[in-house]
């Protein structure tokens, strides 16, 4: 073992023994394939299966497209008047990335925030935005979801992104009232359901004015949630709202 100046070889051997013992006593397994790992939640092989969205995409909502459309917009964005400036997603909501998000949200693995936030950080860095007048916020959790999950996954993501990029984050958004479950609603019903449901938390009204806001969510599906949040933020004076999501759901064909 290479010796680092100032370190004690006895200490490092002891540390290794302790680590080995912990590993034997508490073995860890990959959440995706079940193989034993060295303390990681996901093995390296499975991580390789997480893919970035490549190729043509809608400039507004990041939906993968089959061919280059007019103005670079998908069918839906052409007809919608979104209040958010754009959405960027790391991958499509499929394969290993989808499994990771399900583990993160529904199977009590808040530690996955470290991994999933690294994807968001990559996206934000690539977006080349000026981060000086920028703040971070996240989609709030309904009371129902909080009760079931015990933690707000988007808050955990936002906190990690904030820590890495040194941009402040605030819990700026809250629900005016509890929204209906989205799962059985179609696109338009989702939009209607979320349109006027968010507002800015009174403690953070001052923060919104004139700011560029990075809005964090896990999955961009119909855009209804991002749109609802963005409307609230802009109505309180936010200059820009940029949505960054871990995954882009592409179930409905809007290309
Ligand atoms: Zn694995
Ligand atoms: Zn679009």
Ligand closest to the CA atom of residue 220? 2
Distance 76 CA to ligand 2 centre (A): 6
Q: What per-residue confidence (pLDDT) applies to 191? A: 82
For residue 81, what are its two tokens? 């008047």
Distance 73 CA to ligand 2 centre (A): 5
| Helices and strands of the chain, counted as H and E runs | 10, 8
Ligand closest to the CA atom of residue 87? 2
C-alpha 213/C-alpha 52 separation (Å) is 23
C-alpha 103/C-alpha 96 separation (Å) is 10
DSSP reduced 3-state for 184 = coil
Q: What per-residue confidence (pLDDT) applies to 6? A: 53
Residues 6+ apart with CB under 8 A from 212: 129, 130, 133, 134, 135, 238, 239, 240, 241, 242
C-alpha 213/C-alpha 108 separation (Å) is 28
C-alpha 83/C-alpha 72 separation (Å) is 17
**In the chain, where the domains are located:** 10-47, 49-248
- Going residue by residue through the chain, which has 255 residues, state the pLDDT in tens, using 9 for 90 and above: 444 455 577 778 888 888 888 877 788 899 999 999 988 999 999 999 999 998 999 999 999 999 988 889 999 999 999 999 999 999 999 999 999 999 999 999 999 999 999 999 999 999 988 888 899 999 999 888 888 888 999 999 999 999 999 999 999 999 998 877 777 788 888 888 888 899 999 999 999 999 999 999 999 999 999 999 999 999 999 999 999 999 999 876 555
Q: Which CATH number fits domain 49-248: 1.10.579.10, 3.40.50.2020, 3.90.870.10, 3.40.50.150?
A: 3.40.50.2020
Residues 6+ apart with CB under 8 A from 164: 117, 121
Distance 239 CA to ligand 1 centre (A): 42
């Amino acid at each position: 073992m290479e010796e680092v100046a100032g370190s004690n070889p006895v200490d490092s051997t002891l540390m290794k023994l302790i680590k080995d013992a912990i590993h034997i006593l508490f073995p860890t397994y990959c959440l995706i394939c079940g193989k034993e790992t060295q303390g990681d939640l996901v093995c390296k092989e499975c991580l390789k299966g997480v893919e970035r969205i490549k190729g043509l995409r809608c400039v507004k909502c990041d939906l993968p497209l089959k061919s280059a459309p007019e103005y670079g917009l998908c069918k839906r964005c052409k007809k919608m008047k979104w209040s958010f400036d754009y959405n960027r997603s790391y991958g499509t909501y499929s394969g290993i990335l989808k499994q990771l998000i399900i583990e993160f949200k529904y199977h009590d693995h808040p530690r996955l925030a470290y991994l999933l936030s690294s994807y968001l950080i990559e996206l934000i860095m690539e977006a080349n935005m000026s981060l000086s007048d920028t703040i971070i916020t996240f989609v709030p959790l309904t009371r129902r979801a909080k009760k079931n999950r015990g933690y707000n996954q988007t808050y955990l993501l936002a906190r990690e992104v904030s820590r890495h990029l040194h941009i402040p984050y605030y819990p700026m958004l809250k629900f005016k009232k509890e929204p209906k479950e989205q799962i059985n609603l179609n696109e338009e019903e989702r939009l209607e359901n979320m349109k006027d449901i968010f507002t800015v938390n009174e403690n953070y009204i001052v923060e919104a004015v004139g700011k560029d806001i990075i809005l964090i969510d896990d999955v961009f599906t119909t855009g209804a949630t991002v749109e609802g949040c963005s409307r609230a933020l802009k109505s309180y004076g936010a200059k820009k709202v940029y949505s960054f999501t871990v995954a882009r759901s592409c179930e409905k064909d809007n290309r």
